[in-house]
């Protein structure tokens, strides 16, 4: 099955789609211009100051120098001594011992949280006091109105291994299933790991040599020593370690041996990818391509259309049925409907077919939108137990492609499935859309920035074919203002590049997403 990594750059926005046979496995978007450059990315390490301790919630708020204080829970705040860790491991039964899954930056705290569940109850105010300075790492980026979640269980991810300075442990990714290979890797890691420290082999470590794993680990140890050195000099609050760039993190975390091609649409990004892969991903040599077609790259690969589906509340199924996706602060609700599909057999068979088709689309939409937290799926009621079980098993199978951890309960008597999906970052609709001013927040529309990017991509397509000198652009006042202000440099660059003149006009009666582009004929 062909797996491709598609990278698009529009102004300062970077978008990455991992696709397999045309289906999106992962979609990531980064817009440095939307926020400050010191955004709290997962993996960043800060020297913070405790500003409030909440014993009733077993948590504390940490000032890390950003607009919103970071949230630190007691399990993430308590660092047991090596002696305590060894005693906990010694006293645990086999069933209690946590397995380490596929370790990626937004799941770094999984193992340490599992370990600490076995400790004796400890109050947050016995660990932290207001005014205390602490070194913390971002475990989850800000979501909605919440600030970032941080942890004191520092983890540094390399390409093949993860280094844990405060947890004594040797682990191997659960996705490496061959017992002989797991044993080989564990033996190598045990010989590499210093006493009192931790190391985990990532999935891509499978088949790698001692020399390569040792080199990766040594690099992480050097980084940690530099973090400690900087922590001694920086006054809290302050950033003391910044993770890789967006593109580098993508290459490190989701590019594996199964990726056949990396396709990028700008020379700058191409050079960046070439430089990183030549050092850390030598197996990708010769697989990087520069896209030069006139059709925008995401449009060519069908990703643009999927993004539009990913921010829509209603998604139609091939049979004629549909699913409705609604996101609230508390949960994500998904409703399945037969719609126009009436089937050719019995109503029960029609319902089963619709539900099974909906299962695949739901699993896909959860990945595409990056839905997290509590998810409720309302399937069409099925009378037969065997049909309900078939739908449940089909959902479990479809979720195997998901890189985020999920927990799914069987279909209830009401025909509902309750599940959770690990929340790692904002959902696609919240990244791309604002609350709709036309319906007082009950719906969503694209933000002016998103419309600007869409407009500029369309403008480039028009200008390449235009014969006349002038190009007229009509858009909503907010979009026009951004084109004439914040994005004026790209407009001027395009004018110079194509020897054209752009005339931008605001139309007060236009919807925020509406725009028109006309090229002078002669």
Same domain, 143 and 65: yes
Report whether 18 contacts 25 (CB < 8 A): yes
CATH of the domain at 465: 3.40.1260.20
Does residue 260 sit in the same domain as residue 395?
Answer: no
Q: Burial of 291 by CB count in 10 Å (0-12 exposed, 13-18 middle, 19+ buried)?
A: middle
Each residue of 459-468: pLDDT tens digit? Answer: 999 999 888 8
Residue 442's pLDDT band, with cuts at 50, 70 and 90, is: low
Provide the CA 62 distance to its chain's centre, in angstroms: 24
Binned at pLDDT 50, 70 and 90, residue 510 comes out as very high
**Residue 241 contacts residue 150 (beta carbons within 8 Å):** no
Give mean pLDDT, residues 496-520. 92
Residue 442 placed within a domain: no
Residue 439 in domain: no
- Same domain? For 481 and 499 the reply is yes
Q: Which two tokens stand for residue 174?
A: 């659960």
- 76 and 9 together in one domain: no
- Which of 382, 400, 428 is the endpoint of a domain? 428
Distance of CA 221 to the CA centre of its chain: 26
The model's pLDDT over 349-372, given as tens digits with 9 standing for 90+, comes to 888 999 999 999 999 999 999 998
Same domain (yes/no): 179, 114: yes
* Token pair 């520092």 in the structure block, residue: 154
DSSP character at residue 5: E
- Give the integer Cα–Cα distance in Å for 474 and 518: 9
The predicted pLDDT at position 278 comes to 86
| 434 belongs to a structural domain | no
Judge whether 438 lies within some domain. Answer: no
**338-360 residues labelled b (16+ CB within 10 A) or e (exposed):** beebebeeeeeebbbbbbbbbbe
Q: Which residues contact 89 (CB under 8 A, 6 or more apart)?
A: 97
Residue 344 pLDDT = 63
Q: Is residue 60 part of a domain?
A: yes
DSSP assignment of 262-303 equals EEESSHHHHHHHHHHHHHH-GGGTT-EEE---SS-HHHHTTH
Within 10 Å of residue 231's Cβ, how many Cβ atoms?
Answer: 17
Within this chain, do residues 388 and 317 fall inside the same structural domain, yes or no? yes
User: What's the distance, Cα to Cα, between the start and end of the chain in Å?
Assistant: 48
SS3 breakdown of the chain: % helix, strand, coil, rounded to 5? 40, 25, 35
Using DSSP, state whether 399 is helix, strand or coil. Answer: helix
Name the pLDDT band for 434 (thresholds 50, 70, 90): confident
Q: How many residues does the chain have?
A: 522
> Do 405 and 513 share a domain, yes or no?
no
Looking at the structure, do residues 232 and 257 belong to the same domain, yes or no? no
d(Cα 436, Cα 433) in Å, to the nearest integer? 8
Q: What does the pLDDT average to over 158-169?
A: 90
pTM for this model (two decimals):
0.71
Residue 334 lies in a domain: yes
Same domain, 68 and 131: yes
Claim to verify: residue 464 and residue 486 sit in the same structural domain:
yes
Q: Which of 199, 214, 241 is the last residue of a domain?
A: 241
Looking up residue 12, the CATH number of its domain turns out to be 3.30.420.40
Confidence of residue 401 (pLDDT cuts 50, 70, 90): confident
Lowest mean pLDDT among 3-17, 48-62, 73-87: 73-87
Report how far Cα 320 is from the mean position of its chain's Cα atoms.
31
Please indicate, yes or no, if residue 18 is contained in any of the structural domains.
yes
Residue 441 resides in a domain: no
pLDDT over threshold 80, residue 103: no
What residues make up the domain containing 465? 447-519
Map residue 225 onto helix, strand or coil. helix
410 and 476 together in one domain: no
**In total, how many domains does the chain have?**
4
Whose tokens are 């069987």? That residue is: 410
The residue from 368, 395, 428 where one domain ends is 428
Distance CA 339, CA 324 (A): 11
For residues 423 and 496, membership in a common domain is answered with no
Q: Averaged over 147-154, what is the pLDDT?
A: 92
In whole angstroms, what is the distance from residue 505 CA to residue 472 CA?
8
Bridge partners, 239 (sequence order): 46
């Amino acid at each position: 099955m062909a797996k491709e990594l598609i990278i698009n750059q529009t102004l300062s926005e970077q978008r990455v789609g991992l696709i397999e046979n045309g289906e999106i496995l992962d979609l990531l978007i980064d817009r440095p211009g939307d926020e400050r450059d010191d955004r709290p990315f997962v993996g960043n390490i800060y020297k913070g100051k405790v500003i409030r301790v909440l014993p009733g919630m077993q948590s504390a708020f940490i000032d890390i120098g950003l607009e919103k204080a970071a949230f630190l829970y007691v399990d993430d705040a308590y660092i047991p001594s090596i002696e305590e860790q060894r005693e906990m491991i010694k006293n645990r039964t086999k069933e209690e011992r946590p397995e380490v899954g596929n370790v990626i930056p937004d799941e770094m705290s999984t193992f340490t949280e599992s370990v600490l569940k076995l400790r004796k109850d400890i109050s947050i105010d016995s660990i932290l006091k207001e005014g205390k300075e602490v070194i913390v790492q971002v475990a989850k980026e800000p979501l909605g109105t919440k600030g970032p979640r941080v942890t004191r269980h520092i983890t540094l991810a390399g390409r093949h291994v993860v280094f844990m300075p405060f947890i004594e442990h040797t682990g191997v990714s659960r996705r490496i299933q061959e017992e002989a290979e797991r044993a080989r890797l564990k033996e190598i890691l045990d010989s590499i790991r210093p006493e009192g420290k931790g190391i985990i082999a990532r999935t891509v470590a499978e088949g790698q040599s001692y020399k390569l794993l040792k080199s990766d680990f040594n690099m992480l140890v050097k980084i940690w020593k530099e973090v400690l050195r900087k922590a001694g000099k920086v006054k809290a609050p302050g950033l003391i370690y910044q993770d890789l760039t967006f593109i580098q993190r993508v290459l490190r975390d989701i590019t594996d041996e199964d990726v056949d091609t990396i396709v990028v649409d700008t020379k700058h990004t191409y050079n960046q990818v070439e430089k990183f892969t030549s050092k850390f991903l030598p197996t990708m040599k010769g697989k990087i391509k520069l896209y030069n077609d006139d059709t925008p790259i995401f449009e060519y690969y069908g990703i643009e259309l999927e993004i539009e589906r990913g921010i829509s509340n209603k998604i139609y199924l091939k049979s004629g049925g549909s699913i409705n996706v609604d996101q609230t602060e508390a949960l994500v609700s998904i409703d399945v409907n037969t719609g126009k599909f009436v089937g050719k057999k019995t109503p029960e068979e029609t319902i089963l077919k619709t539900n099974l088709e909906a299962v695949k689309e739901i699993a896909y939409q959860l990945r595409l939108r990056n839905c997290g937290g509590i998810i409720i799926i309302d399937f069409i009621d099925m009378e037969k137990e065997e049909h309900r079980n078939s739908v449940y098993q089909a959902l479990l199978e479809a979720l195997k492609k998901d890189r985020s951890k999920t927990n799914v309960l069987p279909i209830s008597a009401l025909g509902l499935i309750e599940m959770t999906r690990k929340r790692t970052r904002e959902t696609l609709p919240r990244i791309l859309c604002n609350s709709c001013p036309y319906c007082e927040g009950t719906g969503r529309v694209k933000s002016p920035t998103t419309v600007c990017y869409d407009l500029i991509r369309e403008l480039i397509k028009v200008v390449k074919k235009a014969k006349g000198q002038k190009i007229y652009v009509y858009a909503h006042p907010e979009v026009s203002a951004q084109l004439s202000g914040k994005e004026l440099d790209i407009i001027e660059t395009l004018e110079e590049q194509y020897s054209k003149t752009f005339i931008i006009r605001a139309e007060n009666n236009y919807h925020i997403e509406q725009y028109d582009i006309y090229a002078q004929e002669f």
